[in-house]
Structure 1
Amino acid sequence: MTSGPILVADIGGTNTRFGLAGPSGILDGTLKRYSNNDHANFYSLVAEYLNLQEVERCSKACLAVAAPVEDDAITLTNRDWHISKAGAREVTGADDVRFLNDFEALGFAIDRLSTDQVLHVAGPKVATNSDGARLVLGAGTGFNAAAITCGVDGHPKVRAAECGHMTLPVETTNELSLRDHLAQNRGRASVERALSGQGVLEIYEWVCGQANIMPQNYTAQEIVHLAIEKRDESCETTAKILVRLLARIAGDLVLAFLPLGGLYLSGGVTRACRDLISDDLFWQEFTAKGRQSNLLRSIPVFLMTDDHTALEGCVTAMIGPLSFGHLPNSMAAQVAGIRT
C-alpha cells in the first residue's frame, strides 16, 4: 500500500469536516471543520487542509457526502459542488477513493462510538434485541436516514436512503396550512423542507404569520435557543412543531425498518433540539402509532453528540470495524443506555 494517511471527510451542505486516519483510527490533532461558504469548491478546500497538515499524499480517501452516491461523481444536494473520484485522486494523491452517503457513514460509525459520544434521550435504556437492526436519522442542512444490520461476516451493512425527499406527513388543518406555506413555489413539501436549518426559518416565518406579528431576523440556532430558554413564544411554537414532525417521521421510519437495536438521532438541528427531544413531547408523538404503539415504546432512542461521528464511519468503511477498541455491537446499546 502507498504510504501516507487515510483522508476521511464529511462533506455537508454547510460545513466540511476532515480527519486523517491510520491503522488505529483517527490521528490526534487532525480533526478540522470548515465553512463551505469560504471556499469555491471541494478541491481547493481539501488542498488547504492537506497543506495545513503537511501531507503530500494520502494512501486512501473516504468521502462522506450529503448526496446520493450512484457512480464516480456526485453533486451535493444542498450546494452546487461537483466532486469526482478522478478529481479527488488528483488533489489527494490517493489511488483508492470511496464515496459514502453521509448517513451511510453515520451508520458505519455506530459500533465505534464511545459512551461520551452517544446519549440516551428517550424510551427504554437498553434495546430488547441488541443484535437487531438499528436506524440513524436526523436533520441538519437537510434530512436523511440509514438502516444498519449485521452481515454474515460480522461487519455492519448499511443501507443508504434519500428520506429527506419523502412527502411531509401532516395530520391537522393547521399543519395543512404549514404544508402549503412550505410548498409555495415548489409544487410540494418534502420532509426536509421542514426538518432542516432552512426549515426552522420557514416554520418560524409561518408561525409569525399565523400570529400576525413581524418575524425577527433570527438564525435557526437562535430560534431553537430562544425556544429552549422560553424567551420567545413564536420560537417556542416553532421548535415544538419541529420536534413533533421529527418524532412523527422517526416513528414512521421505525415502522418501515423495525430497528429493534435502537434509533440513533444525529444532525446539527437535531442536536440543537436535544432538551426538547428529552421531553415528553417527542416521545408522545413518536409512539402515537395506533395498534403498533407498544412496538414504538420498545425502541430506545439515542442522540449522537459528536460533530465528527461520520468521520469514524469513514474509518470503519476503509479499515474495518472495532480496529481501535470501541465497544462490540452486543454491548454498544447497553452501555449507551447507562447515560441519562
Structure 2
Amino acid sequence: MTRMAQPLSLVADVGGTNTRVALAQGGAVDPASIRRFANAGNAGLVPILRTYLAEAGSPEIAGACAAVAGPVDDGVARLTNLDWTIDRNALATATGAEHVAVINDLQAQGHALGHIAADCLRPLVGTAEPLRAASPQLVIGVGTGFNAAVVHDGPAGRLVTASECGHATLPVRSAADLSLMRFVETAHGFAGVEDVLSGRGLERLHAWAAREAGRDDGLDASAIMAAIGRCDDPVAEATGAAFVRLLGTVAGDLALIHLPFGGIHLIGGVARAFTAHYERFGFAAAFREKGRFSSLAAAFPVSIIEDDYAALAGCARRLAEG
C-alpha cells in the first residue's frame, strides 16, 4: 500500500530585524527550504510570504504558523520593535492554509524543546541532581528584545504560556543599579528589563558605563561585544559585567517564579554572543544569589540553545500537535 505524502505547512519566525520562512511536513522543517528576509523595506509579513511561496513554486499549503516577536492577543500579533501587525486571517489569505496559528516567538521556542539536536544545546549552569523530565521548562530569549515562556508537558500535550516579561521593571539592588535605572528611564519614562537586556539595551548599558567613567562613547552592540572580547577596555568590561550580572539576576527571579526543574534555556543572538563571557562575569553566582532560597535556585540547570532555526521547528511542532 502506497503511503500518501504528508501535507505541507509553512512556518515563519518573525523577529524585529529579520524573518525566516520554511516549509515543513509532519512536524519537521525541511532545512533546504529555509530562507531569511530582511524586514526593512517590507510593509509586513504578507508580501514576504507571497514572495517566498512564488519562488518555491506556489506549493499547496495546508497549515501555517507564524512566531512573532511581540504580544499575541486572540490571534493578532503586534511586533514590539517594528510597526507590523499580523493576524490569522492575513496568514490564511497569504498562504491558502486552512489550519493557521499566530504565536509568540518564545512560545515557538518552547514547542521546539525536545526536538533540538543535542549538539545545539550548550550547558551553562549545572546541578547536582538529574533533570526532572515531567517538570516545567523555561525559555529565556535575549536578542532584539527580551522575553520568556514556560513549557508544561501533561497528559493533554504541551502547553507553552506566553508573557511579556521583558517589560517588567529592571531590578535594583545597589546604588549603581539605581543610577542605571535613572539613566535608562529618560528614554521612555520607565526602565524595563528589555531596556538593558537586549541588543539595544546593551548599547544603553555601555553608554551609562561610559558616562560613569567620564567618557562619551557611542558604540553599537557588535562593537561593544568586540571590545568585551578584547578584555582591554574598562568601560567594556564594566558593561559586560553589569549585563551578565543583571541577566543572572532576572533569570534567577524567573526561575523562582516558575520552578523550571526541567531546565532553563537561553536563546537569541545576544544570549549566544555572551557565551564566552558568562563564567568570567559570574552568571552562575548572580543566578543563584537569592539569600535563603539560593539552594533552591541551584536546583535549576541552565543551557544555551545554539540553533538559529529552533523557532521554525517549534512552529512545525505546534501545527503537528494541533
TM > 0.5 fold call: yes
SS of corresponding position for 1:144: strand
Question: Does the C-alpha gap of structure 1 residues 315 and 183 become closer, same or farther in structure 2, counting only changes over 3 Å?
Answer: same
Q: Which residue of 2 aligns with 1:148?
A: 151
After superposition, residues 118-133 of structure 1 pair within 5 angstroms as 118-124=121-127, 127-133=130-136
Distance in 2 separating the partners of 1:127 and 1:51: 48
TM-score under structure 1 normalisation? Answer: 0.89
SS of corresponding position for 1:112: coil
Contact map agreement 2:244 2:281 (CA 8 A) in 1:
no
* 1:164 alignment partner, one of 153, 166, 175: 166
Question: Does the C-alpha gap of structure 1 residues 98 and 237 become closer, same or farther in structure 2, counting only changes over 3 Å?
Answer: same
Q: Which runs of 5+ in 1 are unaligned?
A: 322-340
Q: CA deviation at 1:128?
A: 4.2
User: Partner letter of residue 241 of structure 1?
Assistant: A
Decide which moves more: 251-260 or 56-65. 56-65
Q: How many residues align?
A: 319
Q: Which residue of 2 aligns with 1:326?
A: none
User: Partner letter of residue 103 of structure 1?
Assistant: L
SS of corresponding position for 1:113: coil
Distance in 2 separating the partners of 1:181 and 1:36: 30
Distance in 1 separating the partners of 2:90 and 2:159: 28
User: Partner letter of residue 22 of structure 2?
Assistant: G
Q: CA deviation at 1:179?
A: 0.4
Q: Which residue of 1 aligns with 2:114?
A: 111
SS of corresponding position for 1:306: coil
Q: Which residue of 2 aligns with 1:30?
A: 33
Distance in 2 separating the partners of 1:28 and 1:205: 40
SS of corresponding position for 2:315: helix
After superposition, residues 97-246 of structure 1 pair within 5 angstroms as 97-124=100-127, 127-153=130-156, 155-216=157-218, 218-246=219-247
Q: CA deviation at 1:29?
A: 0.6
User: Partner letter of residue 175 of structure 1?
Assistant: D
Contact map agreement 2:6 2:25 (CA 8 A) in 1:
no
Contact map agreement 1:127 1:261 (CA 8 A) in 2:
no
User: For residues 138-194 of structure 1, what are the alpha-carbon distances to aligned partners after superposition, in whole Å with 9 as ceiling and x for unaligned?
Assistant: 2111111111111113x2221111111111101111111110111004221011011
Distance in 2 separating the partners of 1:156 and 1:102: 16
Q: Which residue of 2 aligns with 1:276?
A: 277
Question: Does the C-alpha gap of structure 1 residues 58 and 273 become closer, same or farther in structure 2, counting only changes over 3 Å?
Answer: same
Q: Which residue of 2 aligns with 1:57?
A: 60
SS of corresponding position for 2:73: coil
Distance in 1 separating the partners of 2:131 and 2:293: 16
User: Partner letter of residue 17 of structure 1?
Assistant: R
> Are 1:319 and 2:281 matched, yes or no?
no
Q: Percent identical across equivalent pairs?
A: 36
User: Partner letter of residue 40 of structure 2?
Assistant: N
Distance in 1 separating the partners of 2:276 and 2:176: 25
Q: CA deviation at 1:41?
A: 1.7
After superposition, residues 40-79 of structure 1 pair within 5 angstroms as 40-79=43-82
Contact map agreement 1:170 1:179 (CA 8 A) in 2:
yes
Distance in 2 separating the partners of 1:56 and 1:105: 24
Q: CA deviation at 1:275?
A: 1.3
SS of corresponding position for 1:169: coil
Q: CA deviation at 1:24?
A: 5.7
Q: Which residue of 1 aligns with 2:42?
A: 39
Distance in 1 separating the partners of 2:232 and 2:37: 31
Q: Which residue of 2 aligns with 1:82?
A: 85
Q: Which residue of 2 aligns with 1:334?
A: none
> Are 1:15 and 2:18 matched, yes or no?
yes
Distance in 2 separating the partners of 1:14 and 1:2: 35
User: For residues 189-248 of structure 1, what are the alpha-carbon distances to aligned partners after superposition, in whole Å with 9 as ceiling and x for unaligned?
Assistant: 0110111111011111111111111214x3212212320231432222112111111100
Contact map agreement 1:126 1:300 (CA 8 A) in 2:
no
Q: CA deviation at 1:70?
A: 1.4
Q: CA deviation at 1:51?
A: 2.1
Q: CA deviation at 1:83?
A: 1.5
Contact map agreement 1:2 1:59 (CA 8 A) in 2:
no
Decide which moves more: 133-142 or 281-290. 133-142
Task: Indicate the RMSD between aligned Cα atoms, in angstroms.
Answer: 2.0
User: For residues 115-137 of structure 1, what are the alpha-carbon distances to aligned partners after superposition, in whole Å with 9 as ceiling and x for unaligned?
Assistant: 12211111227634232111111
SS of corresponding position for 1:37: coil
Contact map agreement 1:224 1:236 (CA 8 A) in 2:
no
